[in-house]
Amino acid sequence: MMQIGLHPSIHAFKPDEWDALNPSRYPGLLHGFLSSLEDSKSVGEGTGWQPLYASMKRGNDLIGAIVCYLKSDSYGEYVFDWAWADAYHRNGINYYPKCITAVPFTPATGPRILLKDGEDYLKITEQLIKALKNELAERVSSWHILFPDERSFQLLSSEGSWLERSGVQFHWFNDGFETFDEHLATFNSKRRKEVRRERRRVSDQGIVFERLSGYELNDQAIDTLFRCYQTTYRLRGNLGYLNRTFFEYAIDRIPDAIRVAFAIHQGKRIAMSFCLRDTKNFYGRYWGALYDVDCLHFETCFHQWIEDAIEQGIERFDPGAQGEHKIARGFRPVKTRSLHWVKHSEFELAIRKFLISESNHVDRYFEICDGHTPFKALNEQISL
């Protein structure tokens, strides 16, 4: 007999039973990642992110789950709905709390429903969505599923009553490269020279790099990592969503899902880029530098991870939201999607009309970006 449960904490589940639903080890849904967020108080009371986990069990066997958060604001989501919230407010209606299914502070496409292999995926999905909507109907204005991968999108949207929204990011794809030079060989001559010049500007200043897994990060490395992380956010007038305790817990609990690139000058680490990974993908998350160095951001956040991805046979590198400057460095525009259930019928209609118009603009933007990639024509021959 199947039983559906709703839980306020990831600690309702054993790590092994939870992660068995995530064989690709998508980092944002690993038990160790979610528990690090909760235990460091990066999510929970007072943060604007209140966890809610929906689960389905057959007896004692966990066969499906959806991670949700009840939100009291729209910070840290990267699918922007501030205008929707403002419209609700102007009409005297509460937009918050709302519910989202997403990885906190992480605009990375991935699974948004976890399912045990061999089960009736559609049936489990329908029952979990029904249970959540019944729970949420009197508590929230809306439910938003952000950055679902193709499988999750198809399963979740099949239930109906969802509005679809699209966006654009820039990802790098490994076309079977064995070296960084092979990657550059796909560029036209001008862009290829620019990337090489950019990398030389960093190396000519005596800066070298080390790339470490979570297993190799000691307290000193974590100190530098966190100082760099906070430095970036200080420029924006805050200290960031995450605290040092989160990084300590995550590095201890999911070391295989973490990689960090450090820039080193005269024996001292002066910058870092923090990356999550699963079996096929890199997800660039955070960067920071203690000193301002020309082109250091591009080298630390892009070229180092492309080089590392090639060495490790990683298929795709998702460096995060926005950034048209990524195009010239070998990243291609890709469409992202989200699903939205809006309870208020009149606002649902207004948002539906808005999304049709927005989708046309997104399509045009995608076409423009796709026309500015640095890749050479198929018939161009070059020698390295």
8 A C-beta contact, residue 271 and residue 326: no
Same fold, 2-160 and 171-333: yes
Task: Tell me how far CA of residue 159 lies from CA of 53, 121, 126, 140, 179, in angstroms.
Answer: 19, 12, 6, 19, 44
Where does residue 350 rank: exposed (0-12), middle (13-18), buried (19+ CB within 10 A)? middle
199-244 pLDDT, tens digit per residue, is 999 999 999 999 999 999 999 999 999 999 999 888 888 889 999 9
81-122 pLDDT, tens digit per residue, is 999 999 999 999 999 999 999 999 999 999 999 999 999 999
* Tokens 């010239």 belong to residue: 328
Q: How high is the pLDDT of residue 162?
A: 96
pTM of the entire predicted model: 0.95
Question: What is the full DSSP assignment across 135-155?
Answer: HHTTT-SEEEEESB-HHHHHH
Domain positions in the chain are: 2-160, 171-333
Contacts of 31 (CB under 8 A, 6+ apart): 10, 13, 15, 18, 19, 253
Q: How high is the pLDDT of residue 377?
A: 59
297-333 pLDDT, tens digit per residue, is 999 999 999 999 999 999 999 999 888 999 999 999 9
Q: Rounded distance, CA 116 to CA 299, Å?
A: 39
Nearest to 43 by CA among 56, 33, 57: 33
The superfamily in CATH containing domain 171-333 is Gcn5-related N-acetyltransferase (GNAT) (3.40.630.30)
Q: How high is the pLDDT of residue 379?
A: 41
User: Spelled out in words, what is the top-level CATH class assigned to the domain 2-160?
Assistant: alpha beta
Task: Tell me how far CA of residue 198 lies from CA of 95, 306, 308, in angstroms.
Answer: 46, 15, 18
The angle at the Cα of 30, spanning 25 to 33, to the nearest 5 degrees, equals 130
Looking only at Cα atoms, what is the longest distance across the chain?
66
